[in-house]
Amino acid sequence: MPVLDYEPLVLAPRAGAPAPLTPIQQEVLALKRQRNAVILAHNYQVEAIQQVADYVGDSLGLSYQAQAAQADVILFCGVHFMAETAKIVNPGRTVLLPDLAAGCSLSDSCPAERLAAYRAAHPEVYVVAYINCSAGEKALSDVICTSGNAVKIVRRVPADREILFVPDQNLGQWVAQQTGRPMRLWPGSCYAHVQFTVRALEKVRAKFPHAPVVAHPECVQAVRDLADEVCSTELMVKFAKETPANEIIVLTESGMLHRLRREVPTKTFIAGPTDTCACNDCRFMKMNTIEKVRDALQNLSPVIEVPEPTRTAALVPIQRMLDWSKG
């Protein structure tokens, strides 16, 4: 397997007007009107999907958008736990996910049965669950958080309670460092973000010595320690707008570069590299394609369903997060 044998992926400032929509993108927009649908897309979706979405953002922004949606149909372009969250907060809508197999390694690393067993053995813990988990796991948690609000949420947890943070040990470790609050960490991780390494970052930094590095908190500590900013995907947009630098190295999934380039068209974005590749795709996020988006609107399928007892139990910690996050 080649190691560090590639040129960095560099997205230079975009010149001129964006390319016109393709026939299939226009078909999607026509179907969207016909179905009275809203398209919510995560920052990691392919560019063709981001271009037709009504809203593109991080998990937190998407949760608020899903809760406020008035359309009959929410077509959620992201991964399964995100679409499930949309159904939990807005059960009256039909929620579609273009590919039901679009899961998440973090979510898989903490099955609800194992969390239930842990809780039964340790009833004293206060469970803070990263939103990247299943509805069943959310239903067993005390409060949910996203990378965008995790520090704020953990600061609101009663001081006399011991926190169990699930399922991402890297985000949990970062939040513990930011808040000074010790926490038990579930040993889960994002298979994509842990592929960013110090040596790959150093290689790309040697070519762009003046470019600040922005990293997602799902990266391992050695990589986070080299970053100028550690934040959610939404806050990466803010960072890119505010930094005086014109070149920025972005350590997260490669779809983020499309969002950054659209919102900050005058700057250059360099994809965070791994040891074997110049950029880093999440194989789950990339299961959604513009063709599957079209088919989902045409067939009103695949539909996301959450059993009502699980939904009502999972809504409690999600709503707590949405309330604490605003306050």
218 counts as binding ligand 13P under rule CB under 6 A? yes
Q: Identify the CA nearest to 270 among candidates 209, 199, 190, 192.
A: 209
DSSP 8-state code for residue 148: T
Helix (H) / strand (E) containing 40: strand 37-42
* Gyration radius (Cα) of the chain, Å: 20
Q: Let me know: does 223 contact 245? Beta carbons within 8 Å.
A: no
Q: Let me know: does 65 contact 40? Beta carbons within 8 Å.
A: yes
Looking at the Cβ atoms of 9 and 102, the one nearer to ligand 13P is 102
Q: Let me know: does 98 contact 292? Beta carbons within 8 Å.
A: yes
58 counts as binding ligand 13P under rule CB under 6 A? yes
Looking at the Cβ atoms of 43 and 51, the one nearer to ligand 13P is 43
75 counts as binding ligand SF4 under rule CB under 6 A? no
Q: How far is the CB of 43 from ligand 13P (least distance, A)?
A: 6
Q: How far is the CB of 107 from ligand SF4 (least distance, A)?
A: 7
Q: How far is the CB of 21 from ligand SF4 (least distance, A)?
A: 26
153 counts as binding ligand 13P under rule CB under 6 A? no
Q: Let me know: does 180 contact 143? Beta carbons within 8 Å.
A: no
What does 284 bind: ligand 13P, ligand SF4, none (CB cut-off 5 to 8 Å by kind)? ligand SF4
* CA distances, 252 to each of 160, 192, 230, 308, 316 (Å): 35, 8, 10, 35, 30
The structure tokens listed for 303 are: 């539909």
Q: How far is the CB of 95 from ligand SF4 (least distance, A)?
A: 17
Which one of residues 45, 134, 141, 233 is an interface residue with ligand 13P (CB under 6 A)? Answer: 233
Number of chain positions touching ligand 13P (CB under 6 A): 12
Q: Three-state SS for 14? A: coil
Q: How far is the CB of 207 from ligand SF4 (least distance, A)?
A: 25
* CA distances, 2 to each of 198, 209, 247, 274 (Å): 17, 24, 27, 11
Residues binding ligand 13P (CB under 6 A): 43, 58-59, 132, 146-148, 190, 216, 218, 232-233
Residues binding ligand SF4 (CB under 6 A): 79, 104-106, 132, 190-193, 218, 253, 282, 284-285
